[in-house]
Amino acid sequence: METATAHATHHEHVHGHEEHHHEETFLTKYIFSQDHKMISKQFLITGIFWGIVGGLLSVLFRLQLGWPNETFPFLESFLGKWAEGGKISQEFYYAMVTMHGTILVFFVLTGGLSGTFANLLIPYQVGARDMASPFINMLSYWFFLAAGVVMFFSFFIQTGPASGGWTAYPPLNGLRDTAVNLGSGLGFDLWILGMSLFIVSALLGGLNYIATVLNMRTKGMNMFRLPLTIWALLFTAVIGVLSFPALLAGCVLLEFDRLLDTSFYLNNIIINGNLLGYKGGSPILFQHLFWFLGHPEVYIIILPAMGLVSEVLSTQSRKPIFGYKAMVFSILAILVLSFIVWAHHMFVTGLNPNLGAVFTLFTLLIAIPSAIKVFNWIGTIWKGKVRLSSPALFAIGFVSMFITGGLTGIILGNSAIDIQLHDTMFVVAHFHIVMGVSAFFGMFAGVYHWFPRLYGKYMNETLGQIHFYITLIGAYAIFFPMHFMTGLPRRYYTYANFETFNNFNFLAEFISIAAIIVFIGQLVFVVNFFYSIFKGRKVVAEKTVDGYDYANPWGTTTMEWSAPIERLHGNWPGDIPAVHRWPYDYSVNGREYIPQTEALKPGEVPHE
Amino acid sequence: MIAFLTFATIVLLFVVLVLISRASELTADLKNGKVDYTNQSKWNGYFLLASLVLMFVGSAVCFKVLMPVMIPKAVSVHGVKTDFLFNVTMIILLVAFVLTQVALFYFAYRYNESHGHEAYFYPHNNTLEVIWTVIPAIVLTGLIAMGMYEWMHIFNPDARDKNMMVIEATGKQFNWMLRYSGKDGKFGERIIDQAHISPTNELGINWEDPKSHDDFMSDKLYLVKNKPVLMKLGAQDVLHSFFLPHFRVKMDCVPGIPTEFYFVPTMTTVEMQQYLSTQPWWQTINPETNQPRWQTFKYELACAELCGKSHFGMEREVIVVDQSEYDAWMAKQTPMYQPPVAAVPATDSVTTKEEAKKPTAMLVTK
């Protein structure tokens, strides 16, 4: 990973030395960087690495699901004992499913998404020279990387990585005993270590984001002049800071159960007729702790994507975001509600039915702010002048996916219906569309849109559009039909043991083929990304002031392009510009756009 | 070799793709150093419309092809109601799905920059915001009310029939232990301690309790049509989840915490087969068995909570019969209790016996 990071940034000639007060070495500029833009790149490239790993895992277990009776001899050559005779073993299947979830939820869509865009956009868009604490910001990345190294390492130990599901439920994951048929051995201890490091990273990052947004806004940048990206990233950080500690506590107690034989989550465990000594714990307690983070976690994933999409849609439609304040308050509503819906993951755990009813109420309520956001995005495109470039396409794809996946949430959130659907493929289809695919669409929209800001170059438009259509159509081909596998339990290695579930093999095969195509389609993005870093079309200066080149590739109002094309440490060469207006003055007063930094004309009333 | 060639082909395709894309970049219309997207917007507008059409056609095909294959209609009293709720919700969602997707893709097509118009500065409209807050709120209130009513009814202990039968299901890696209370209708006491739990008495049944003497184990779950049943659920080792897909029954089995689920089966296995024999898809021949699909239909019990590497194998057949057939079946069952010698549970599967042979001393240390 380090090499990948270093490689990716090699191209950046160390120009602009004379402006810096101190000489930067390779090590301080690229590796132990405290510059928010470099840390953003580090998060992004590490995220891309994890995205490839996580995606590859899904392709491998889709081979098993799509063709349960076939063998794939080539698998044995690089998986060894995990795929003897070309047949993926049960242990490794569950390990891949577990790690696929962990990697994509935490390492790609939390670390990769929030880490990249909070770091890039918060200082640029609030008008700050860097994060409140650049050093803590650097630590945040290094804890993230260390977490990743631990997780990656767990693939290479003899008993394999964690395989008890990304939700890590005890007792399966609470017993360190090899007598339990599924080896939740060393791999799971590493999982807990990796997750703990990850949580430290998320907390360090989150506190920094909050401090920066609240304290380091430039002159004139009051809260209601913040672009929606910043609102979304701020609220995301708040959710993370309030909920990640619960998971850390939960994980530490789980490790106590495993290593010190405590009984926080274990009670009356009987294995082969032998009563183990655990007494008085509750496996359900862990689920409460897990989902107290786990549910807000999906908003940690989706809110930044929503923020990016709001900004991209508005910019690319040359039209203000529709209902700016409604958007802000709906994110706030989602933030508040996200903390009181967690038990909808536990409707059939034997929870008190009254609690189930309350959680149904709050869960379905969350559909209202989500609906408001969807209508506002559609309202933004309406009568706009939409430039259908890659970022806009991905933003539209995000809204489409968010609608489709969000709607089925209304079914799952209703406890009475959830009895049948809980832990079935319907759930898999739902959450992959609503938080997996759509968050990826948001992330891609962001990467295509802000790539010029990161690297001073554009990503290739043709490849971007090819990538878009493969992903849009492919993702629907994978997950839309999956809804019809209602009642087929998830996390099944094969359905062959059941008469009831064995009818959908043709569909499983179709889904697997689509998944492989979509995975290859994502490689188009990876190729485009690294190719464009080196050979991409350069951002051309539109004006030059005091020897600094300025441009505004998409014609945005927000502050990131009031800084020079060159990525200076400190962002602006002179004073930080002051802000005079809200961030969405598009197509107003006969102008295509008016930057936030432009002073009001005499007599002009700012939009508030 | 084939793998290598495939790999080489994919790499080559990528190289070609990049070269073509590079060329398109070099020939792009530039205005002040920026690409003019007008032409691309025009084409992408059409492509988006095409994607929308493809999406709807694909959805329609899914409904046509996949609906008949789905797990058939609910065969429990509450399942019929939750299925109805599912269908009502689904219809509302489909309407919302079509309206919003059409608006999204059509606006993207209609208002893309190739039409040569200017964007309309229209930052907000509070009336609209109120409308699209209130309408979903009203619809959701209805759905919440219906869902809550049904939910509270399913789990209301006062609504249970006093004459219900009680069956105990205990999950373990990787099968189900199903215990019936026998002729007296009462289960023998279970005591979870070192004195009672043993490889030959995994459930910890207290044999000194006379109520245990007619308890029997079954490897199939027998239920009676229209006879309410309360499943008493538990787990030995890790979480399991008691899932009867046809009956819309699911409840986790938690070590140390008893759970339960009350329901009423409404169709016997034979009646269900007869019903399915009228359904076109179920009349087709299953190539694996060479029989019409409805003939091999059976109700099944599955595990729905990841419980280890053989989670997918916890299958038990569920058979719903009339009371008279049930009585006849029950008369044939042998109780677990064997007076003089230590009792052996009747249902232990092959796996369990193998596991029981393993040295177990190291397990007891905890």
pLDDT of A10 higher than 50 = no
Q: Name the A residues in 245-274 with CB < 8 Å from any B CB.
A: 261, 266-274
Distance CA B196, CA A38 (A): 64
**A608/chain B closest Cα distance in angstroms:** 10
pLDDT of B352 higher than 60 = no
Please tell me the number of Cα atoms within 13 Å of B357 on its side-chain side: 4
Pair A401, A433: CB distance under 8 Å: yes
Within a 10 A sphere around the Cβ of A350, how many other Cβ atoms?
19
Closest by alpha carbon to A505, among A91, A101, A55, A64? A64
A449-503, pLDDT tens digit by residue? 999 999 999 999 999 999 999 999 999 999 999 999 999 999 999 999 999 999 9
pLDDT of B10 higher than 60 = yes
Chain A: residue whose CA lies nearest to B34 = A553
pLDDT of A18 higher than 50 = no
Distance CA B299, CA A481 (A): 24
CB-neighbour burial class of residue B89 (10 A; exposed 0-12, middle 13-18, buried 19+): buried
> A526 — contact with chain B (CB < 8 Å)?
no
Taking CB atoms and an 8 Å cutoff, what residues of chain B touch A588? 121
Q: How confident is the model at residue A27 (pLDDT cuts 50, 70, 90)?
A: confident
pLDDT at A563 (0 to 100): 94
Distance CA A215, CA A227 (A): 16
Q: Name the A residues in 185-214 with CB < 8 Å from any B CB.
A: none
Angle between helices A353-365 and B126-154 (to 10 degrees): 160
Distance CA A250, CA A486 (A): 31
> B45 — contact with chain A (CB < 8 Å)?
yes
Distance CA A500, CA A518 (A): 29
Give SS3 for A455: helix
**B240/chain A closest Cα distance in angstroms:** 10
Closest by alpha carbon to B176, among B93, B242, B129, B103? B242
pLDDT of A425 higher than 80 = yes
Cβ-defined contact of B119 to A586 (cutoff 8 Å): yes
- Give every CB contact of residue B228 below 8 A, 6+ residues apart in sequence: B160, B161, B163, B164, B165, B262, B263, B264
Q: Write out the DSSP string of B86-110.
A: HHHHHHHHHHHHHHHHHHHHHHHHH
Distance CA A122, CA A307 (A): 12
Secondary structure of A197-232 in HEC code, one letter for each residue: HHHHHHHHHHHHHHHHHHHCCCCCCCHHHCCHHHHH
Mean pLDDT (whole number) for A425-447: 96
pLDDT of A34 higher than 80 = yes
Distance CA B22, CA A537 (A): 9
> Which one of A275, A476, A491, A585 makes the best mutation probe of the B interface by having the most chain B beta carbons within 10 Å?
A275
pLDDT at B359 (0 to 100): 36
Cβ-defined contact of A408 to B93 (cutoff 8 Å): yes
> A129 — contact with chain B (CB < 8 Å)?
no
Taking CB atoms and an 8 Å cutoff, what residues of chain B touch A537? 25
First to last CA, chain B: 53
> B318 — contact with chain A (CB < 8 Å)?
no
**B197/chain A closest Cα distance in angstroms:** 6
> Could you tell me which residue, B289 or B33, shows the higher pLDDT?
B289
Question: Measured between CB atoms, which of B97, B257, B352 is closest to A403?
Answer: B97
> B316 — contact with chain A (CB < 8 Å)?
no
Closest by alpha carbon to B18, among A464, A461, A528, A389? A528
Q: Before B174, cis peptide (omega within 30)?
A: yes
Record the pTM: 0.92
Give SS3 for B240: strand
Pair A31, A6: CB distance under 8 Å: yes
Distance CA A553, CA A573 (A): 20
Which of the residue ranges A184-188, A259-263, A518-522, B83-87 would you say has the lowest mean pLDDT? A184-188
- Of 3.20.20.80, 3.40.50.261, 2.60.40.420, 1.10.3720.10, the CATH number of B164-356 is 2.60.40.420
Under DSSP, the state recorded for A558 is S
Distance CA B145, CA B185 (A): 37
Residue B180: strand pairing partners:
B167, B216
pLDDT of B343 higher than 80 = no
What CATH homologous superfamily does A2-13+30-348+362-543 map to?
Cytochrome c oxidase-like, subunit I domain (1.20.210.10)
Chain B: residue whose CA lies nearest to A174 = B238
> Which one of A259, A410, A534 makes the best mutation probe of the B interface by having the most chain B beta carbons within 10 Å?
A410
Under DSSP, the state recorded for A578 is P
Within a 10 A sphere around the Cβ of A436, how many other Cβ atoms?
26
ipTM of the modeled complex: 0.92
B45-64, pLDDT tens digit by residue? 999 999 999 999 999 999 99
Chain A: residue whose CA lies nearest to B24 = A462
pLDDT of A15 higher than 80 = no
**A74/chain B closest Cα distance in angstroms:** 8
Mean pLDDT (whole number) for A596-600: 92
pLDDT of A11 higher than 50 = no
pLDDT at B24 (0 to 100): 77
> Could you tell me which residue, B356 or A385, shows the higher pLDDT?
A385
Mean pLDDT (whole number) for B179-206: 91
Residue B241: strand pairing partners:
B252
> B325 — contact with chain A (CB < 8 Å)?
no
For residue A173, which phi and psi values (nearest 5 degrees)? Answer: -95, 0
CB-neighbour burial class of residue B203 (10 A; exposed 0-12, middle 13-18, buried 19+): buried
Tokens representing A159 are 């008993």
Distance CA A35, CA A29 (A): 8
Taking CB atoms and an 8 Å cutoff, what residues of chain A touch B174? 181
- Mean pLDDT score of chain A: 91
pLDDT of A343 higher than 90 = yes
Distance CA A302, CA B65 (A): 32
pLDDT at B355 (0 to 100): 42
C-alpha distances (whole Å) from B25 to each of A8, A34, A463, A539, A552 are 22, 34, 10, 13, 19
Pair A65, A133: CB distance under 8 Å: no
pLDDT at A20 (0 to 100): 47
- Mean pLDDT score of chain B: 88
Report the percentage of chain A scoring pLDDT > 90.
79
Cβ-defined contact of A527 to B14 (cutoff 8 Å): yes
Angle CA(A93)–CA(B347)–CA(A173) in degrees, nearest 5?
35
Helix (H) or strand (E) holding A543: strand A543-545
Under DSSP, the state recorded for B347 is T
> A484 — contact with chain B (CB < 8 Å)?
yes
Taking CB atoms and an 8 Å cutoff, what residues of chain A touch B250? 348, 419-420, 422-423
Show me where the domains of chain A are located: 2-13+30-348+362-543
Distance CA B11, CA B32 (A): 35
Give SS3 for A572: coil
Mean pLDDT (whole number) for A48-53: 96
> Which one of A75, A312, A417 makes the best mutation probe of the B interface by having the most chain B beta carbons within 10 Å?
A417
> Could you tell me which residue, A98 or A30, shows the higher pLDDT?
A98
Q: Name the A residues in 315-334 with CB < 8 Å from any B CB.
A: 317-326
Mean pLDDT (whole number) for A267-295: 91
- Give every CB contact of residue A472 below 8 A, 6+ residues apart in sequence: A397, A400, B51
**B300/chain A closest Cα distance in angstroms:** 7
Under DSSP, the state recorded for B233 is E
**A510/chain B closest Cα distance in angstroms:** 12
Under DSSP, the state recorded for A433 is I
Taking CB atoms and an 8 Å cutoff, what residues of chain A touch B361? none
> Which one of B91, B124, B138 makes the best mutation probe of the A interface by having the most chain A beta carbons within 10 Å?
B124
Under DSSP, the state recorded for B201 is B
Per mean pLDDT, which of A24-33, A569-578, B91-100, B288-297 is the most reliable?
B91-100
Pair B105, A400: CB distance under 8 Å: yes
pLDDT at B32 (0 to 100): 67
Q: How confident is the model at residue A180 (pLDDT cuts 50, 70, 90)?
A: low
Q: Name the B residues in 137-196 with CB < 8 Å from any A CB.
A: 137, 140, 143-144, 147-148, 150-152, 154-156, 172-174, 192-194
Where are the alpha helices (H) located in B111-240, listed in sequence order?
Answer: 126-154
Taking CB atoms and an 8 Å cutoff, what residues of chain A touch B103? 378, 382
For residue B292, which phi and psi values (nearest 5 degrees)? Answer: -60, 145
Helix (H) or strand (E) holding B253: strand B249-253
Chain B: residue whose CA lies nearest to A517 = B10
Q: Before B68, cis peptide (omega within 30)?
A: no
Q: How many residues does chain B have?
A: 366
Question: Measured between CB atoms, which of A481, A497, A587 is closest to B118?
Answer: A587
Q: How confident is the model at residue A383 (pLDDT cuts 50, 70, 90)?
A: very high
pLDDT at A29 (0 to 100): 78
pLDDT of A181 higher than 80 = no
pLDDT at A22 (0 to 100): 59
Distance CA A443, CA A47 (A): 11
Cβ-defined contact of A353 to B306 (cutoff 8 Å): no
Which of the residue ranges A124-138, A181-195, A205-219, B320-334 would you say has the lowest mean pLDDT? A181-195
Chain A: residue whose CA lies nearest to B42 = A388
Distance CA B168, CA A446 (A): 54
Q: How confident is the model at residue A25 (pLDDT cuts 50, 70, 90)?
A: confident
Taking the CA atoms of residue A266, residue A267, residue A269 and residue A275 in that order, the dihedral angle to the nearest 10 degrees is 130
Pair B165, B228: CB distance under 8 Å: yes
Question: Measured between CB atoms, which of B123, B192, B365 is closest to A584?
Answer: B123
Under DSSP, the state recorded for A486 is T
Q: How confident is the model at residue A291 (pLDDT cuts 50, 70, 90)?
A: very high
pLDDT of B26 higher than 90 = no
pLDDT at B288 (0 to 100): 84
pLDDT at A385 (0 to 100): 94
- Give every CB contact of residue A489 below 8 A, 6+ residues apart in sequence: A423, A424, A425, A501, B243, B302, B303, B304, B312
Closest by alpha carbon to B262, among B167, B330, B178, B144? B167
B205-248, pLDDT tens digit by residue? 999 999 999 999 999 999 999 999 999 999 999 999 999 999 99
Taking CB atoms and an 8 Å cutoff, what residues of chain A touch B129? 323, 326, 372, 376
Distance CA B133, CA A597 (A): 34
